Structure 1
Amino acid sequence: MMKPLHGKVALVAGATRGAGRGIAIELGAAGATVYVTGRTTRTQRSEYNRAETIEDTADLVTAAGGQGIAVQVDHLVPEQVEALVKRIEQEQGHLDILVNDIWGGENLVEWNVPVWEHSLEKGLRMLRLALDTHLITSHYALSLLIKSNNALIVEMTDGTAEYNQQHYRLSMYYDLVKNSINRMAWALSEEVKKHGCTAVSLTPGWLRSEMMLEIFKVTEENWQDGAATDPHFIISESPRFVGRAVAALAGDPDAARWNGQSLSSGQLAQVYGFTDIDGSRPNCFPYLVEVIEAGKPADVSGYR
């Protein structure tokens, strides 16, 4: 059977690791050609100084059934982003899916530190990495993307608009970034809807990224053991779960019903029926409010 995204071309900006890698893999599993970008290659590391590379992600996309194409891009450099989009147009002729997942702020956030004490240099760097990159990428990519019928733009963030409006995210800079991306997606939806395109913001739940697994001293194979450190870790999800959310949106001929909305992986799983790689369907944000914030003991019954 032909895969639902066969013939579709996607750009996952910021696909070296974490949610970006999970999204790229699942788009590949659905048959898409996926350009994966980031700063870390097998011969050059970014300031993160981590081992994951864009080539590894591209190989995983291809192994999943798509075609992965790795391109080293610093999305803060307009000339590099412009060259990337020109290459996609020359090689493919069209672009159907844009996922803006560029982040890069984990080592810059100073949690529970007021703005007057937080490093200004780190804070402003975080804003540039998380917001300027998305704007630069959209500036160059959308002129190609809007030529495709029913094209999709996904702005990746942390927290739905509803959740973030009611919760301070423990850092002025982090709070500003994650709320801004939700608003960015809404503004994009206003600009692209007349072209038949859909723009949304999307958040995973408690993401078991490579860095998170290291913090909990577990692997994806034994992640449940992380509950010994924090019992609520049982609500966490793999990066493939939010990847399946993006693939479901991209394959939905009626995706325009979501235009401008702030969505979560758990919410979309309830609608589209996909599961995480362990067969469960975690729904993190209701759990955060109704269990963790309510001071109840860890229990995912009804949330997974």
Structure 2
Amino acid sequence: MSGVQGSRPLERYELTRIRDRASFLYVEKATIARDRNALTIRAEEGVTYVPGAGLACLMAGPGTRITHQGMSLLGECGVSTVWVGEQGIRYYAHGRSLAASTRYLVKQAELVSNPRSRVAVARAMYAMRFPQEDVSGLTMQQLRGREGARVRKIYREESERTGVEWNRRDFDAEDFDASDEINKALSAAHTCLYGLVHAVIAALGASPGLGFVHHGHERAFVYDVADLYKAEVTIPTAFEVTAENPPDIGSAVRYRVRDSISTGRVIESIIRDVTQLFFSADEVDAALDSLAGDNVISLWDPKGAVAGGTNYEDF
């Protein structure tokens, strides 16, 4: 036999932009394989076909098996594959991203390495949550206190709106069923949001671990960004679903969060917000344009990047 067997890998220009993809897909107790450029998900109910290039994040739960060709397609399409535990609560690992450039990563590292710029980005994140307030003069401790009061108020208001009893945030990462229904709903909803945010961060070429508010964890920046959307997406959804008393609250919440993310165009918001946090107003368009650029390898020089693939012996 000669030549490379199997389907031709997709070229980067053939891939769907991250902002136009479906948000996430949670799969458990199924086998994921490949049929040309589509994923096949075989479970007890039958076989489902999913366009590989149309998905942002695949959350692989317990009992999930992925064939070599299935994983190959996920990699070619830049789908962030996240392996999670039962009910999607625990995070184990993730796969390759869609990024072709390190522009976001380099900028993120630059900002997080300087205390002054790191605080500036952190304040900008808090400012997104308090649009009517001037937070520029507040310390990080004051901002954390303001955020804590805000979240408690949101929980209280959602409890009154939906009639769901609320005491406090209480959950066990080791035992999903040990919590009451509203805390299980919140855990499931937040995990879905974390998976999506992780996928978008990876697709942008940024680092999930270089956080500005959260620190020292491999997903610190994921938690930073996810906190921007909980009040509008996951917390209201969790309370609404709990009020409906579904038989499987984890599954019901995942479906509803997926719908909220789609109708609320959350992927586009994440791309826009992260870009605006990293880059000045006159750099935003160029940064967004770089997401569709070619994967060009350059060489670093103190005076600026120079072309790779060149013999510099005579220079």
Taking structure 1 as the reference length, the TM-score comes to 0.28
Larger Rg: 1 or 2? 2
Taking structure 2 as the reference length, the TM-score comes to 0.27
